[in-house]
Structure 1
Amino acid sequence: MTDVEVLVVGDANPDLVLSGDTVPRFGQAEQLLDGAELLLGGSAAIVAAGLARLGVGAALVSVVGSDRFGSEVLDRLRERDVDLSAVAVRDGVPTGLSVILSQPHDRAILTLPGTIPLLDPDAVRSAVDRLRPRHVHIASYFLQPSLAAGLPGLFDGLAAAGVTTSLDTNWDPAERWEGLEEVLRRVTVFLPNREEALAIAGRILGRPTVDVDEAGALLSSLGCRVVVKSGAEGAVAYQAGERVADAAGLLLEVVDTTGAGDSFDAGYLAATLRAGGAEAETEAGRLRWAAVAGSLSVRGRGGTQRQATRAEVLALTAPGSEALTITAASAG
């Protein structure tokens, strides 16, 4: 087991990924699928697995049930050498489960929360005190109300201890996008996708916004660095109300986009923690590293089957590699 550099906090659950004719039709119509796989899911679990794949020591703080799904999650994470000493196993509550209806360039997600909302800030503090990570990453803010309510105080304590932090809220199922201003004033890096950034900025402004630069400038003016993910288009970073860097993704055949944003997060954190080498010492370099890691993850089903290795990302972020176009078959 490597030393813990990043403590990842949040959801861990299986994903049942269905592909093919996945748009439901009621009236007892039977549809035939192209594929169905039970894979490791949960934003936090995917980030932790991605970090480990990139050579970064990762531990997970989460809650699973004492059921078959919980055992499946833990087995998959052990295979990646993720530290599971801070994962709680609860009786009487089912492990969360997501059903992914996968299309080549989009997906729908049906989630049973189960144990996911049971995580609280005290579990994170205990893990930090014991494992002494350099960085703490929080995932799936809106699925964990107890954790979310305590994040401002938790981030204050981590900052006082010299621990950097990041947050990926993921989608808000209620689409209210509330409670984030005080959190964003305290977190080091905020990692929303384009739609999430627009929704959160619109909530703060009190009006809809469709301009990513406006959203990124507003959110970063609260005090955090903001990295907005836009799928194959790559990502843009904002600091103190200004756009400071951007990077494109890779052009490659898409098998499944599930978890690509989480693999991007893992790539960005790995680069920030110097796993990316000299090419990741600038913000543009860190974005490129993250965009490559996120892009490569779409080569396989689910969020973790084809996550990038450190060697793959280094090869595709080296000088002169920006124009590379690869296919799923040739991408390792």
Structure 2
Amino acid sequence: MATTDFDLLVVGDANPDVIVSGTPSTLAFGQREQLVETGELVLGGSAAITACGAARLGLRTAFAGRVGADAAGEFVLYTLAGHGVDVSACVVDAARPTALTVVLVRGADRAILTSPGCLSDQWAVPPSLVARAAHVHVSSFFLQPGLDVAGLFRTARELGVGTSLDTNDDPSGEWKGLDGIIGLTDVLLPNDAEALAIAGLTGQDVTAAARALAAKGTLPVVKRGAAGALAWPPEGPVHAPAVPNPSFVDAVGAGDSFNAGFLAARLNGLHLEACLRLAVRAGTLSTRAAGGTAAQPTWEEATS
């Protein structure tokens, strides 16, 4: 990995997360005030959390994304840099605001409200930046309609740079626009529901979705929560179990820390089952504190 400037270039969303825990089952409108257990202001965005997790695991990590020229954008860039992530390629939009997310947590479940701000604008990642990385990861495909992911991944292929994608949820529920991208993606990192939706098999077994996605020319790596993780290489399924989690606080960003763990293990040359196990452990350990980045593990923690 030392022949490039960066082990990992993460492309995608970054925003402040306002995490409200102990959310009532019914929200009272009409200007009623309801008290909750805790409130936290933390770094959010799937790509930003993945980048921080990768840097914490020892990868030389750069982040490319869009923020506004506002206090929220300053918070995002300052926090990413504080986690050891290179943010020199980030675009600061003087006309549009930074994205903002409110996460309402109730037990192990959460609702996510996002204002996309400048994320939806047209932009591109310079090929010269891609050439400086060993691997490019894109998060939150559906929040960034102005990003040409297919073109980015074609450039990466031409340069011999690895690619991975975590689409995250599609707020529209349509799951369109991925047909020309899956075959350019070395590693696809959905959760159960996303794998089924991307494969067009909602309501069926996730193993069928993983098999169908593998047939499109990618390595699907499915995050399954309490069921661990499932990958489907050409030779057939590989599983990793969940690990005990006695210190659970919240699951915000756990899937993104899983992504970071899998990519760090892969870039360090581990075999697929070991990559899955490390990814599961990285995701689990990240839930020890509120928000996506506060409890992300080091390489030593994730491999112990």
User: Normalization by structure 2: what TM-score?
Assistant: 0.94
- Within the alignment, does 1:106 sit opposite 2:109 as a pair? yes
Aligned partner letter, 1:139 = S
Question: Aligned partners of 2:106 and 2:146: how far apart in 1?
Answer: 33
Query: CA offsets per residue over residues 130-174 of structure 1, 9 Å max, x none?
Result: xx1000000000000121xx2223212211211010000000000
Question: Aligned partners of 1:21 and 1:153: how far apart in 2?
Answer: 41
Aligned partner letter, 2:143 = L
* Contact 1:74/1:84 (8 A) holds in 2: yes
Partner residue in 1 for 2:160: 162
Aligned partner letter, 2:142 = F
Question: Aligned partners of 1:31 and 1:210: how far apart in 2?
Answer: 39
User: Normalization by structure 1: what TM-score?
Assistant: 0.87
Aligned partner letter, 1:210 = Q
Equivalent of 1:228, from 222, 226, 230?
222
Q: What's the offset of the Cα at 1:124?
A: 4.3
Aligned partner letter, 2:204 = V
- Within the alignment, does 1:69 sit opposite 2:72 as a pair? yes
Query: CA offsets per residue over residues 297-330 of structure 1, 9 Å max, x none?
Result: 0111010011111110111xxxxxxxxxxxxxxx
Identity in percent: 47
Matches within 5 A, 1:125-144: 125-129=127-131, 132-144=132-144
* Contact 2:18/2:42 (8 A) holds in 1: yes
* Contact 2:12/2:65 (8 A) holds in 1: yes
Question: Aligned partners of 2:179 and 2:57: how far apart in 1?
Answer: 32
In structure 2, relative to structure 1, the CA distance for the partners of 1:297 and 1:175 (3 Å cut) is same
Query: CA offsets per residue over residues 30-64 of structure 1, 9 Å max, x none?
Result: 21111111100011100100001000010000010
* Contact 1:247/1:287 (8 A) holds in 2: yes
Partner residue in 2 for 1:284: 273
- Within the alignment, does 1:199 sit opposite 2:197 as a pair? yes
In structure 2, relative to structure 1, the CA distance for the partners of 1:29 and 1:243 (3 Å cut) is farther
Partner residue in 1 for 2:8: 6
Matches within 5 A, 1:163-178: 163-178=161-176
Partner residue in 2 for 1:329: none
Aligned partner letter, 1:4 = F
Question: Aligned partners of 2:10 and 2:169: how far apart in 1?
Answer: 18
Partner residue in 2 for 1:248: 241
- Within the alignment, does 1:186 sit opposite 2:179 as a pair? no
Question: Aligned partners of 2:256 and 2:93: how far apart in 1?
Answer: 25
Aligned partner letter, 2:139 = A
Matches within 5 A, 1:37-48: 37-48=40-51
Which shows bigger deviation, 109-118 or 9-18? 109-118
Stretches of structure 1 that go unaligned for 5 or more consecutive residues are 275-279, 316-332
Equivalent of 2:213, from 189, 195, 219?
219
* Contact 1:209/1:215 (8 A) holds in 2: no
Matches within 5 A, 1:306-321: 306-315=295-304
Aligned length, in residue pairs? 299
Q: What's the offset of the Cα at 1:282?
A: 1.8
Q: What's the offset of the Cα at 1:126?
A: 4.2
Stretches of structure 2 that go unaligned for 5 or more consecutive residues are none
Partner residue in 1 for 2:283: 294
Structure 1 vs Structure 2 CA RMSD: 1.6
Equivalent of 1:59, from 59, 62, 73?
62
Question: Aligned partners of 1:52 and 1:262: how far apart in 2?
Answer: 13
Secondary structure of residue in 1 paired with 2:87: strand
* Contact 1:105/1:254 (8 A) holds in 2: no
